[in-house]
């Protein structure tokens, strides 16, 4: 196996995907990142943050109005699944949400799942999904993700989030991935159906 193939395989591993996203978020935050309208200052992103006896892959912390730091976003990082992508992504969403709940913060942080190819962002109010995006590839996109989530929280707008890369394969997303996530988050099949209808309007 040549180095080119070895490099490709390493870049598909969870550790590399997590590190790359951590690096972009950290760079965006350390240069100074504030959503002025709500005085939300992004303070740090921490890898492997303890949540009970588990560890969340990445947790972003913010301060508002000089108060102590609070968790803002919990990110579960995973390897892209080619076989049964829906159930795999649904399991990751469940983990991310569990970490966000178990941190015990008020308000509850946003939660997201990222596999180096797509990013899904959620809040803990039905129908949960805020948006689905493509890979986060640079610091500008990392900034828009963080500021965009706070803009959504504060104003109910998605102007900054809409600047993020578009999902590369909407047909695949709608048919293979979202139905499993809807079933995971819903209490019953009819609620899952409502979630899907609502989500299709977002995409």
Q: How do residues 118-174 score in pLDDT, each as one tens digit?
A: 999 999 999 999 999 999 999 999 999 999 999 999 999 999 999 999 999 999 999
User: Over pLDDT 90: what percentage of the chain?
Assistant: 87
Q: What structural domains does the chain harbor?
A: 3-202 (3.90.1570)
Local confidence band at 103 (pLDDT 50, 70, 90 cut-offs) = very high
In this predicted structure, the answer to whether residue 112 has a pLDDT above a threshold of 70 is yes
Contacts of 200 (CB under 8 A, 6+ apart): 174
Neighbours of 102 (CB within 10 A): 13
Q: What pLDDT, on a 0 to 100 scale, did the predictor assign at position 7?
A: 61
Q: How do residues 61-73 score in pLDDT, each as one tens digit?
A: 999 988 999 999 9
Local confidence band at 17 (pLDDT 50, 70, 90 cut-offs) = very high
3-state secondary structure of 161: helix
Residue 18 CA, distance from chain mean position: 12
Q: List, in sequence order, every residue forming a beta bridge with 161; answer none if it has no partner.
A: none
Q: What pLDDT, on a 0 to 100 scale, did the predictor assign at position 189?
A: 97
**Average pLDDT for residues 102-115, to the nearest whole number?**
97
């Amino acid at each position: 196996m040549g180095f080119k193939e070895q490099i490709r395989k390493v870049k598909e591993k969870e550790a590399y995907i997590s590190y790359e996203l951590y690096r972009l978020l950290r760079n965006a935050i350390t240069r100074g990142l504030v959503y002025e309208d709500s005085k939300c200052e992004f303070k740090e992103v921490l890898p492997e943050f303890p949540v009970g006896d588990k560890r969340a892959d990445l947790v972003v912390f913010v301060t508002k109005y000089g108060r102590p730091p609070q968790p803002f976003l919990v990110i579960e990082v995973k390897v892209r699944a080619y076989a049964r992508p829906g159930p795999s992504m649904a399991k990751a969403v469940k983990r991310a949400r569990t970490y966000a709940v178990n941190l015990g913060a008020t308000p509850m942080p946003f939660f997201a799942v990222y596999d180096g190819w797509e990013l899904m962002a959620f809040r803990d109010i039905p129908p949960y999904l805020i948006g689905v995006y493509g890979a986060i590839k640079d610091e500008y996109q990392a900034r828009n993700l963080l500021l965009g989530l706070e803009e959504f929280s504060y104003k109910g707008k998605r102007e900054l989030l809409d600047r993020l890369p578009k999902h590369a394969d909407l047909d695949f997303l709608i048919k293979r991935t979202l139905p499993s996530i809807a079933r995971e988050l819903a209490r019953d099949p009819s609620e899952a159906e409502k979630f899907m209808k609502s989500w299709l309007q977002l995409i």
